Amino acid sequence: MIKGSLVQFSAFQDDLSAVAQSPFPEWLVSLAPQLENWLKTQQHGELKAWLKSVEQLPLITPTEISLGDTVTVTNNQIQPGQQARIEGLLKQLMPWRKGPFDLHGVHIDTEWRSDFKWQRVAPHIGDLSGQHVADIGCGSGYHLWRMLEQGAEHVWGIDPGQLFMAQFLAVKHFMPKELQQRAHFFPLGIDDLGPLQCFDTVFSMGVLYHRRSPIDFLSQLKQLLRPGGQLVLETIVIEGGEQDVLVPGQTYGKMRNVWFIPSSKALMHWLRRVGFKQVECVDEGVTELAEQRATAWMEGQSLADFLDPNDNSRTIEGYPAPRRAVIIAK
């Protein structure tokens, strides 16, 4: 049990209160013991150090906020010394994969230009005003802030990645209270969520190919939605028809945990099979090198290293290079 971190995790208290006041307070029955168990047993060896960095971030009242392509918090009186301190602490949370963020002039140039994905998704999701929105596999929570920009009332990020949680908390730390109260992150996986049937919109982007049992995963996502709710699914696809799916060998683009890569037509077929209606593929295209690349904030390998150096239309293993589809379903 990590004592110091409990201060940080008083943050869960606010999130649990938000659940209590939401239209779905019954979620507390499973959620509260899960988080308690997580606090006792499941902490990553480096979590304490990550949370310490978050705790040491200076408290600065923002004078300007943008939840646009670069999620930005500014105070026009910021001192260079404070900036250097913020940068040093945020660098302790590397690698930063999902963003970009600009926190008091510290520009976090993340591996992924997650704003590119949002630009493909946002025109198709309708108005999120007043909605409770879940993001399953939310990473650092970059898209949670964009969902708030689209008017969501509360956003609920679910991701077992503990470094991602620390990054989310670092960004949240700088946000005004009014936004802090509406943005939540629970360090859980999809299997920890029962058939809550409560969210107006459920996003799951970049997760399906990591699931061993994709049809069960789609069913789980469906059971998170209230009747008539909307699913926004984004994943890697191959070209092909309703019965085409790639199950790669040990790795796909050097990723070890990739299981099923269907065509968008196959995926739409699966969605209809588990009971979704009005299934529509609203975007599909190859992932460009400009969207996923190494930066000063993620110095490891990235997309260029995962592709065949002589033929960028193939992964290093000879599979079709990643193309991604966005599918909306009711």
Question: Given the rule CB under 6 A, which residues bind ligand GEK?
Answer: 98, 112, 114, 117, 136-139, 158-161, 164, 189-190, 205-207, 210
Alpha-carbon distance of 239 to 119, in angstroms, equals 22
For ligand GEK, the closer of residues 104 and 137 by Cβ is: 137
Question: What is the smallest separation between the CB atom of 97 and ligand GEK, expressed in angstroms?
Answer: 7
How far CA 315 is from CA of 129, 266, 305, in Å, comes to 40, 21, 9
- The length of the chain, given as a count of residues: 330
Nearer to ligand GEK, 104 or 211 (CB): 211
**Residue with Cβ nearer ligand GEK (114 or 302):** 114
Cβ proximity to ligand GEK, 60 vs 140, nearer residue: 140
Binding residues for carboxy-S-adenosyl-L-methionine: 98, 112, 117, 137, 190-191, 205, 209, 324
Contact yes or no for 32/13 (Cβ under 8 A): no
Nearest partner of 11 among 168, 127, 124, judged by Cα: 168
Considering the complex, state which of residue 62 and residue 160 has its C-beta at the smaller distance from ligand GEK. 160
Q: Smallest distance, Å, CB 214 to ligand GEK?
A: 12
Residues of each annotated binding site: 98, 112, 117, 137, 190-191, 205, 209, 324
Residue of 319, 329, 300 whose CA lies nearest to 260: 319
In the complex, the smallest distance separating the C-beta of residue 76 from ligand GEK, rounded to whole angstroms, is: 31
CB of 242 to ligand GEK, least distance (A): 25
Q: What are phi and psi of 46, to 5 degrees?
A: -100, 0
DSSP string, 76-132: TT--HHHHHHHHHHHHTT----EE-EEETTEEE--SEEHHHHHHHHGGGS---TT-E
What stretch of H or E contains 303?
helix 303-306
Query: CB of residue 19 vs ligand GEK: minimum separation in angstroms?
Result: 18
Alpha-carbon gap, residue 213 to 39, rounded angstroms: 28
Strand order in the sheet with 106-108: 64-66, 71-74, 101-103, 106-108
Supply the minimum distance, in Å, between the C-beta of residue 50 and ligand GEK: 15
Nearest to 108 by CA among 302, 300, 297, 290: 297
Contact yes or no for 211/260 (Cβ under 8 A): yes
**In the complex with ligand GEK, which residue's Cβ is closer, 96 or 112?**
112
SS (H, E, C) 21-35: HCCCHHHHHHHHHHH
User: Based on CB atoms, which residue is closest to ligand GEK, 188 or 271?
Assistant: 188
Closest separation in Å from C-beta 142 to ligand GEK: 7
